[in-house]
Amino acid sequence: MSLVKKFATVGGATLGSRLFGFARETLMAAALGTGPMADVFYAAFRFPNLFRRLFAEGAFNAAFVPLFAKEIEANGTDGAKRFSEEVFGVLFSVLLLITIVMELAMPLLVRFVIAPGFADDPEKFSITIRMAAVMFPYLMCMSLTAMMSGMLNSLHHFFAAAIAPVFLNVVMIAALFYALYTGADPLATAWYLSWGVLAAGVLQLAVVYIGVLAAGMSIGFRFPKMTPNVKRLLILAVPAAVTGGITQINQLIGQAIASSRDGAIAALQYADRIYQLPLGVVGVAVGVVLLPELARALKGGNLREAGNLQNRSIEFVLFLTIPAAFALWILSDEIIRVLYERGAFHQENTAVVGAILAIYGIGLPAFVLIKALQPGFYAREDTKTPMRFSAIAVATNCATALTLFPYMGAPGIAVAEATAGWISTVLLFTTLLRRGHLTWEWALAKRAALLIVAAAVMGAAILFLKQYFAPWLASGAPLLTKIGTLGLLIAISMLVYFAAAFLIGGADLGMIRRNLNRKPVKTEG
């Protein structure tokens, strides 16, 4: 299967999840707006989500996949199964211990880490503690899910792992529908959502376990034991956990700072949900597919194939994210108005969330490029270098957010996150080049510059058309009219971009063929 077809498999499933996520956020905006219960729920949910990224997705996509691929190459399916069971026993035991400790320490965590600004409001503080306690076991389910997803990705069974996140959104949408149907108040709605998160974690774990069985593998429980393979995994996983959760760490910092101002946390979350669509569809797909592909190429000695994989992934990322960045910047208010402005979500909320989304748009190519660059380190079992770069990015994010928030409010936090993203991208890219792990292609650099020109042409077309479509995108226009108009505007902008890109040479049929018909390169030497 070609690289782009694999991207499409994962990206298509992720797109489904993100679309359900949009539906979920639209219902939440109508039910909770940017009120206190929205702040409470998002603050409580951010913490298990952070640990999910730290201990699950980041660590296992970076550390587990290359070691699992090595076991398959060296010892076949039986060796990979034995390694998985060793890891499962240790992971389950560690997660159980972490969950117990965190549940007991939740009041301190909310006061000093999750939402320090809530400490002055006893009701918000108390509710946040209890909701975080209900949702924290989600971490255990999702960490085990991430491990099994890594197995599936290494076995080239991508769909089950990619579709599992859909179930979180489906369960939460069901909870919101029930709340709206019964006329539940914001507090009751937030509680329905909290229990829904826990139920969704169990459901997602079941989905990937069934996928593992369907792939011809099974996992039995082994008494936790520090075997050489498990030790190697931990050595790789600890720095990878920090690096893989860099976005969540930066967002947690932003949330802690934003908690001192009502509505700021919810505003950041609503904008985050929208930019997560291109980030998820492109970035997650590239990261999930590229790591096992690179790991296998390097283990087999196919250095030219590894270099080609990396550059084609960067090419794919730039082709799709550059126009998305321009569109998010120019259409931010219109997108927020169409998706969220109803019920408890007012025009004032649109202005704030739209400003945040526009800034996130500037950072989008960086956030996605990070997903394409980090596998270049992880596939070589180097997780410490990206961790050092993540530390620099976190320090930059923290300093910038603290400086800008008093003057800009929540948009200042978005500026800090975007700045940190670009710093990480530059550090990762230049280091791979310097080490010779990334091949500089002047043709690729030229195409990237031409893609920016094509996106600028698209942006000019959007600005021109917005003047004529303004009456149909205004706050008072019927919802279906706004949806249709925004859809038409996006469709026209896509046509303009693709036409301009192919006309001036930013994209060509050769580029498409290279990605669709990629053939493995023979082993060197």
- Asked if residue 395 is part of any domain, the answer here is no
pLDDT of 72 reads 79
- Asked if residue 237 is part of any domain, the answer here is yes
Q: Give the tokens for residue 326.
A: 């321009």
Distance of CA 63 to the CA centre of its chain: 18
The answer to whether 311 and 345 have CB atoms below 8 angstroms apart is no
Q: Give the tokens for residue 366.
A: 């960086």
Number of structural domains in the chain: 1
Sign of CA dihedral 406, 408, 410, 411: negative
pLDDT of 100 reads 93
- Asked if residue 19 is part of any domain, the answer here is no
- Asked if residue 116 is part of any domain, the answer here is yes
| 104, HSE (Cβ side, Cα atoms, 13 Å) | 6
Closest CA to 187 of 346, 397, 405, 31: 31
Q: Residue holding tokens 């957010």? A: 401
- Asked if residue 273 is part of any domain, the answer here is no
pLDDT of 283 reads 61
- Asked if residue 412 is part of any domain, the answer here is no
pLDDT of 76 reads 79
Parent domain of 180: 36-243
Pairwise CA distance, residues 136 & 130, whole Å: 10
Pairwise CA distance, residues 48 & 389, whole Å: 24
Closest CA to 151 of 241, 99, 82: 82
> E strands within 285-393?
none
pLDDT of 66 reads 77
pLDDT of 525 reads 36
Torsion of CA 77, 83, 85, 89, to 10 degrees: -170
The values of phi and psi at residue 156, to 5°, are: 65, 30
Total length of the chain = 525
- Asked if residue 187 is part of any domain, the answer here is yes
What type of residue sits at position 172?
M
- Asked if residue 84 is part of any domain, the answer here is yes
Pairwise CA distance, residues 418 & 465, whole Å: 28
Global pTM reads 0.69
Pairwise CA distance, residues 425 & 423, whole Å: 5
Reported as a single tens digit per residue, the pLDDT across 379-409 is: 887 878 988 998 898 889 889 998 998 889 8
pLDDT-flagged residues of the chain (< 70): 1-18, 34, 50-62, 241-248, 280-292, 299-300, 509-525
Encode 96-105: b = buried (16+ Cβ within 10 Å), e = exposed. Answer: eebbeebeee
Pairwise CA distance, residues 92 & 146, whole Å: 12
The answer to whether 35 and 343 have CB atoms below 8 angstroms apart is no
Classify residue 119 by its DSSP letter. G
Distance of CA 287 to the CA centre of its chain: 10
Pairwise CA distance, residues 484 & 48, whole Å: 37
